[in-house]
Structure 1
Amino acid sequence: MGSEILHYRSVEHFFQLLNLDSPRLDGFGIISLADLDVPGNIINQKVTCEFYCVMCNSTDKHLIYGTSNYEQKNGLLSFVAPNQLIIGTEGSNSKDGWILVFSPKFIKNSHFIKDSSLHHLFSYDINEALNANNEELEVINQGIKRMQSEIMRNDEYSQNIISTEIFLLLQNCLRAFNRQFNIKNSSDTNLLAKVDYFLETYYEQNRNLNDGLPNLQYLADQFCLTPKYLSKTLKSNTGIKTTDYINSFIINKAKSTLLVSNKTIQEIAFDLGFSQPHYFTQLFKKFTGETPLEYRKEKLN
């Protein structure tokens, strides 16, 4: 396995490198695994992309997702968000299934962007494929078929209709997700989803460049809660302190940046909101047992 990382710049670039015809809609496509012959130079290749990817795949092999194995038990459903690192091991794609890909721009007006609970599906913390049952899978596959039909229409209504279908498909995936991982549909869980979404958007909107690192007080203020209540709620759902939860998010973000960019440790530290690089290095070592440079060297070699 080489240290080079293949980055798919767009859905169109993805199709091109897989030797597929260009997608009919910009930023959106569905690939049947029956029609896919993965080029040998891509197998076991470290990959990132600029789009969301949902894979339905009947295989007992696994992806390497982030830095952990992502088990695909009888395949079924796997989820990858933009700029997450994956490695498709040999045999991790069967000929039975599909790949759904869509860019953030394609769904910019959809409910998916606003529904923070759906972002759990794409979390690095989930390292097991979604094992949907037959009934759930039938509903999900029907959604794929409707999208395939809409692709052929390809008129002024298609993008909005398909965006809605993506949202419905992910809602059905979330139903299976909650069943599999025994997540309760409660206000506390909804708060956790909102915290995750807030942290994601905090960095997407570059607030860290002006406001620095997010902290407990800042987070509590955003939700009009006391720090004590927020800490108690998050600890009851995650088992860890809020400060550690925030720091864990930051470290996971740092891990991705270390693997997919050539930025220096100083640049990454400032990008994340640290006032001094050595604070970043100390926190990173506390969570991982190694410095950022040691981590990068180990994972890329």
Structure 2
Amino acid sequence: MAGIYHIKSISELHRMLGCSPPRHPSISLVKFLDMKLNEKDIDFKGATVDFYVISMKNSSGQIKYGKGYYDFEEGTMLFAAPNQIMYPSHLSSEVLDSEGWSLFVHPDLLYGTDLGKKMGEYSFFSYDTDEALHLSEIEKIKILSCVNNIVEEYNQNIDAHSKHLIVSNLELLLNYCRRFYDRQFLTRGKQNKSVVVRIERLLIDYFNSEKPLNLGLPTVKYCAEEIGLSPNYLSDLLKKETGKNTKEHIDYYLLERGKNLLLSSDQNISQVAYDLGFEDPKSFSKLFKKKVGVTPNDFRSSVN
């Protein structure tokens, strides 16, 4: 079996899926029922694509996407940014034979548009599979309305207004998805509060241990892996619950530990910085001044 296969264009993907050529070179909707993918003919482990993928699954089934297998529920949406690994060889027959669709959007379509500049704001393109978006019936109708408008527009003859209208409907689609994710954070309040408690305990234990000396400063990625979430999802969840993202939580507990060391020991500023995990004491002093309002030395002197 070959390694990871790289798909550069939407046309190439259509050929691989056994679909007719796309009506538009930079955006296309493919229904799962239209795929003629023969699993026996696939000789690669997975594939990366040069475009965005937005998928909805409307009935039960299983797909390998990202880190593992995921059981779809009715009205489940998944998102992938360019160069994320997809696993077509693990699409089950249940998925291939069920209702659902994938919208493929090449970055070429977004060049020179306001949406192109804002794509990084849609952090759900980097969420893990088990952080998928689950829609109500009313929410599904909103999403399908946007998708149908996009398809209707690119199926017409291209004119001077086509790109603007397609991109506008795509942005509306993404904005609805962001709204529905915000709703999902709110409706999972109990689970989210548990994550907040876990991240706080994780950081308190980290800075009270020898880990800063041995491992350096904790990163957003480290915290996310310890909690079992993707970095973007964890930051978005914490922001919704506490008003601070993961990096801000790290900085808070880092500085609380730093204040404690400054007041409870005679260590110089450099040694305090090293004990906290900094490689450069100047970085500690800069962060301390930015967040606390005074330098570490001034803080120590003012309290003493």
Give the TM-score band, short-chain normalised: 0.5 to 0.7
How far, CA to CA, are the matches of 1:5 and 1:54 in structure 2? 21
Q: Which residue of 2 aligns with 1:55?
A: 55
Distance 1:124-1:140 versus aligned 2 partners, 3 A rule: closer
Distance 1:92-1:44 versus aligned 2 partners, 3 A rule: farther
Deviation at 1:13, TM superposition (A): 0.7
| Identity over aligned pairs, percent | 24
State whether structure 2 residue 134 is matched by structure 1 residue 131: yes
Deviation at 1:137, TM superposition (A): 0.7
Q: Which residue of 2 aligns with 1:15?
A: 14
Distance 1:180-1:159 versus aligned 2 partners, 3 A rule: same
* Residues 1-301 of structure 1: pairs in structure 2 closer than 5 A: 2=1, 4-40=3-39, 41-42=41-42, 45-88=45-88, 89=90, 90=92, 91-115=94-118, 118-125=121-128, 127-156=130-159, 157-182=161-186, 236-238=244-246, 241=250
Q: Which runs of 4+ in 1 moved over 6 A?
A: 232-235
**Matched AA of 2:148:** K
How far, CA to CA, are the matches of 2:113 and 2:71 in structure 1? 30
Indicate the larger mover: 105-114 or 66-75.
66-75
Deviation at 1:104, TM superposition (A): 0.7
Q: Which residue of 1 aligns with 2:263?
A: none
Deviation at 1:242, TM superposition (A): 5.8
- Is residue 65–residue 129 contact of structure 2 (8 Å, CA) maintained in 1? no
- Is residue 57–residue 75 contact of structure 2 (8 Å, CA) maintained in 1? yes
Deviation at 1:49, TM superposition (A): 0.5
Distance 1:21-1:3 versus aligned 2 partners, 3 A rule: closer
**Matched AA of 1:55:** S
Q: How many residue pairs get matched? A: 197
> After superposition, what is the alpha-carbon deviation per residue over 1:10-35, rounded to whole angstroms, capped at 9, x for unaligned?
11110111122211212111112232
- Is residue 5–residue 46 contact of structure 1 (8 Å, CA) maintained in 2? yes
Distance 1:56-1:241 versus aligned 2 partners, 3 A rule: same
* Structure 2 spans left out of the alignment, 5+ residues: 189-218, 221-237, 253-304
Q: Which residue of 2 aligns with 1:223?
A: none
How far, CA to CA, are the matches of 2:43 and 2:58 in structure 1? 17
How far, CA to CA, are the matches of 1:6 and 1:35 in structure 2? 22
- Is residue 52–residue 81 contact of structure 1 (8 Å, CA) maintained in 2? yes
- Is residue 49–residue 82 contact of structure 2 (8 Å, CA) maintained in 1? yes
TM-score, length basis structure 2:
0.56
- Is residue 28–residue 101 contact of structure 1 (8 Å, CA) maintained in 2? yes
Distance 1:64-1:85 versus aligned 2 partners, 3 A rule: same
SS in 2 for 1:115: helix
- Is residue 61–residue 72 contact of structure 2 (8 Å, CA) maintained in 1? yes
**Matched AA of 2:7:** Y
Larger radius of gyration: 2
SS in 1 for 2:6: strand
**Matched AA of 2:55:** M
How far, CA to CA, are the matches of 1:8 and 1:122 in structure 2? 18
- Is residue 51–residue 82 contact of structure 2 (8 Å, CA) maintained in 1? yes
Distance 1:10-1:73 versus aligned 2 partners, 3 A rule: same
Q: Which residue of 1 aligns with 2:206?
A: none
> After superposition, what is the alpha-carbon deviation per residue over 1:179-206, rounded to whole angstroms, capped at 9, x for unaligned?
113399xxxxxxxxxxxxxxxxxxxxxx
- Is residue 54–residue 79 contact of structure 2 (8 Å, CA) maintained in 1? yes
Which protein, 1 or 2, shows the higher relative CO under an 8 Å CA cutoff with sep ≥ 6?
1
Distance 1:235-1:179 versus aligned 2 partners, 3 A rule: closer
TM-score, length basis structure 1:
0.57
How far, CA to CA, are the matches of 1:44 and 1:107 in structure 2? 30
- Is residue 67–residue 129 contact of structure 2 (8 Å, CA) maintained in 1? no
